[in-house]
Amino acid sequence: MGAASGDEVWQGLISDIPIPGSVAARPASPQQVLAEIFGYGAFRGPQQEIVEHVVAGGSALVLMPTGGGKSLCYQIPALCRTGTAVVISPLIALMQDQVEGLRQAGVRAASLHSGCSSEETANTWRMLRAGQLDLVYLSPERLLARDTIERLAALSLALFAIDEAHCVSQWGHDFRPEYLQLSVLAQRFPAVPRIALTATADPRTRDEIRARLQLEQGRVFLASFDRPNIRYLLREKDDTRRQLLEFLEDHRGASGIVYARSRRRVDGFCRDLQAAGYDAVAYHAGLDGAVRSAALERFRRDSGVVVVATIAFGMGIDKPDVRFVAHVDLPKSLEAYYQETGRAGRDGLPALAWMVHGANDVPQLRRFIDDSDAEQQQKLVEHGKLNALIGFTEASCCRRQVLLRHLGEVMAKPCGNCDICLEPDTAVDATEPVRKALSAVFRTGSRFGAAHLVDVLLGADTARIREFGHQQLSVYGIGKELDRGQWRSLFRQLVSQGLLQADSERYAALGFGEDTRLKPLLRGDTQIVLRLPPVKRERLRQPGVRPISLELAPAAELVLLALKDWRREQARQQGVPPYVVFHDRTLVEVVGRRPRSLEELARIGGVGQSKLDRYGIALLAVLEAGFNLGIDERKPE
Ligand code: ADP
Ligand code: ZN
């Protein structure tokens, strides 16, 4: 014990001596580091408080949504405190991105994991001993391997950061047994601050993290879990494939994720997208490991790739410019939905969470739960989770309010950025359409699902209609007052109200339910009011529901493309993802503000000193060339 503290004193003494080029030579304020290294003008949300707390030597648990800016919460203290910061991170791809990003910003960072050659490893340790690294990223396996702890103990350490800290929780969804052993950090390094970070807000997980990492004394920083830049758009399931293609049409060229429930569906949708000209790749656990990593790599490095995936595709996706997450099947739970959609828009730019859902999904999911081998208690929990999810899909008030309430947050006002807020349903007297729908069910012999019934009502000319001679029916083509989406919604509501019943054994064929209103309705003795969505054409005309654009004039849009081409080339030469060079957000700002000098460029978010030195002149040249070209093209008019 005495020897150890003697050691610390001694290390404290030498680490205070500024050696040129060593860690100790960088005394700086958090504000300075934020501006000069990372190129940002202001802290976001609780960042400043967290940074100051850790710089002062405090430990902390930080709960912040994806894209909230957790990394800076430990990266800035790492640069303000004496010694090297050790970051524990569960995924190699994540570490590599972080290290590459830091190096671009001029920070001395390295990683130690199973993917490093022995030469790289030896070199990293040499630099650590020489005090030449600001941050070192370690996999938990590497931290716990052989003599790593002892070797770390011989260094001057600024802090420990434990990223994705929910991996320590057995209750959570990403449990990693190695994380349990991280309690060794508190025991072995009681004087080094520990900061644990996660995007999982669940109170039970939170308590487990605190206990396991011995953070009971540390402060807890809980940021709002709202992701205001994500627009939630839910749609009634009609023809999923067609709906998905229609949705994607507005987002050609954007990076996105499409989640489907099964491997077969993933492969099917992926083929559909490829056939429609999308750069789509499939990702699921049934694929060969090499195929999977190639897909992941394509997604990370290129922009405009759409990954069609099962939930196997998830953790470690820290690509900032994912513009949409689409669900063609219901997720497992509302928590899972939040996590999955949270992968969109980490850069803070507008992003979409789009999902189709239908009444037919629910009985199937219920059966999955009932037929599983789980304990009765567990089944109840699963049913409860499903109910919360259905409550979300069927909400008639703001989606975001429902979602946040589920995460334990109260949002006072509707958000204005979800389908419910943007496309208010209208309650109408639906008696006549309902009678038409019921007769269509009856006249076709209660043997068909909603899709076919809607075709009949709209008078569509399909192979099935011809096959069954349904164009002869009195109900054929009598429903033109509603559009397809409205009819689908109407049928769904009739099912959820019990007026119709879906036969899950027979391809969801609709038949009459037990409801006592049925007879009076058919006789015309009673009325029914339903909320129907506005017709599609009006929906598209609403300004709020336009496809996401970055709000640039057409000429500027071209300049942005030129900058992105230039960025892709820079990234390719260095073998890093494009967003490591500059984020979309930075390029958009560059085009919008059109800086004419390096000083002006430096004022743009995301342009720190190192990037300014490295890319500034070239970037300004591409920018000017782009604008001049645009002007020349316009001259002849
Ligand atoms: P998280 O790890 O919480 O998901 P990140 O640390 O990756 O989030 O940060 C998300 C994005 O926000 C990154 O592009 C990051 O550069 C940016 N960012 C973080 N803090 C700030 C800030 N104070 N000002 C501007 N951008 C920021
Ligand atoms: Zn809303």
Which residue minimizes the CA distance to atom 27 of ligand 1?
Answer: 69
pLDDT at 70 over 90: yes
Mean pLDDT of 283-311: 91
Domain boundary among 422, 455, 472: 422
Which residue minimizes the CA distance to atom 12 of ligand 1?
Answer: 69
Say what the pLDDT of residue 382 is.
Answer: 81
Is ligand 1 within 6 A of the CB of residue 358? Answer: no
Ligand with minimal distance to 199 CA: 1
Q: Which atom of ligand 1 is nearest to the CA of 70?
A: 3
Q: What would the two tokens of residue 158 be?
A: 């600024």
Domain boundary among 184, 199, 222: 222
Question: Does one domain contain both 251 and 218?
Answer: no
Is ligand 1 within 6 A of the CB of residue 592? Answer: no
Q: Does residue 637 lie in a domain region?
A: no
Mean pLDDT of 208-230: 92
Q: What does the mean pLDDT of the chain come to?
A: 86
Hey, which of 32, 49, 72 would you mutate to test ligand 1's pocket, going by the most ligand atoms within 8 Å of its Cβ?
72
Distance 111 CA to ligand 1 centre (A): 20
Between the two ends of the chain, the Cα-to-Cα distance in Å is 83
Q: Extract the runs of DSSP E, i.e. beta strands, from 208-329.
A: 219-222, 230-236, 255-259, 280-283, 306-309, 322-327
Question: Does one domain contain both 300 and 379?
Answer: yes
Mean pLDDT of 300-314: 88
Give DSSP secondary structure letters for 602-625: HTSTT--HHHHHHHHHHHHHHHHH
Integer Cα distance of 179 and 88 in angstroms: 9
pLDDT at 425 over 80: no
Which residue minimizes the CA distance to atom 19 of ligand 1?
Answer: 69
CATH number for 457: 1.10.10.10
Q: Are strands 306-309 and 322-327 parallel, antiparallel or unpaired?
A: unpaired
Distance 528 CA to ligand 2 centre (A): 27
pLDDT digits (tens, 9 = 90+) for 478-522: 999 998 888 988 887 787 677 888 776 666 789 998 888 888 888
pLDDT digits (tens, 9 = 90+) for 434-456: 999 999 999 999 999 888 999 99
Distance 280 CA to ligand 1 centre (A): 27
Question: Does one domain contain both 290 and 354?
Answer: yes
Q: Does residue 1 lie in a domain region?
A: no
Mean pLDDT of 539-568: 66
Q: Are strands 306-309 and 255-259 parallel, antiparallel or unpaired?
A: parallel
pLDDT digits (tens, 9 = 90+) for 399-408: 999 899 888 7
Q: Helices in 250-288 by DSSP H: which ranges?
A: 263-275
Question: Does one domain contain both 244 and 311?
Answer: yes
Question: Does one domain contain both 200 and 167?
Answer: yes
Is ligand 1 within 6 A of the CB of residue 31? Answer: no
Domain boundary among 381, 405, 422: 422
Integer Cα distance of 31 and 51 in angstroms: 10
Distance 612 CA to ligand 1 centre (A): 19
CATH number for 238: 3.40.50.300
Which residues have their alpha-adjacent CB atom under 5 A from ion ligand 2? 398, 400, 414-415, 418, 421
- In terms of residue numbers, what domain contains 495? 427-532
As for how many domains the chain has, the answer is 4
Say what the pLDDT of residue 534 is.
Answer: 67
pLDDT at 48 over 70: yes
Is ligand 1 within 6 A of the CB of residue 564? Answer: no
Among the ranges given (214-223, 305-314, 331-340, 549-558), the one the predictor scored with the smallest mean pLDDT: 549-558
Phi, psi (deg, nearest 5) at residue 199: -105, 10
Distance 67 CA to ligand 1 centre (A): 6
Among the ranges given (20-24, 118-122, 396-400), the one the predictor scored with the smallest mean pLDDT: 20-24
Among the ranges given (188-192, 326-330, 573-577), the one the predictor scored with the smallest mean pLDDT: 573-577
Say what the pLDDT of residue 533 is.
Answer: 72
Say what the pLDDT of residue 543 is.
Answer: 39
Percentage of the chain modeled with pLDDT above 70:
89
Is ligand 1 within 6 A of the CB of residue 501? Answer: no
pLDDT digits (tens, 9 = 90+) for 183-217: 999 999 999 999 999 987 677 788 889 999 999 88
Say what the pLDDT of residue 486 is.
Answer: 86
